[in-house]
Amino acid sequence: MLASLAALAPDPTTAPFWDACRRRELRLQRCADCSTFRQPPSPGCPRCGSARSDWPLLSGRGTVFSYTIVHHAAVPPLAGDVPYNVVVVELDDAPGARLISNVLDAEPSDVTVGMRVEIAWDEVRPDVVLPRFRRAGRG
The residue ranges that bind other proteins (CB under 8 A) are 1-2, 4-11, 13-14, 18, 38-40, 46, 65-72, 74-75, 77-78, 81, 83-84, 86, 88, 96-102, 108, 113-114, 124, 128, 130, 132
* Cβ at position 69, least distance to other proteins in Å: 4
DSSP assignment of 18-80 equals HHHHHTT--B-EEETTT--EESS--SS-TTT----EE--B---EEEEEEEEEE-S-SSGGGTT
66 neighbors 111 (Cβ within 8 angstroms): no
Choice between 71 and 139, CB closer to other proteins: 71
Choice between 71 and 126, CB closer to other proteins: 71
Q: What is the largest CA-CA distance in the chain?
A: 46
Choice between 59 and 112, CB closer to other proteins: 112
* Cβ at position 103, least distance to other proteins in Å: 10
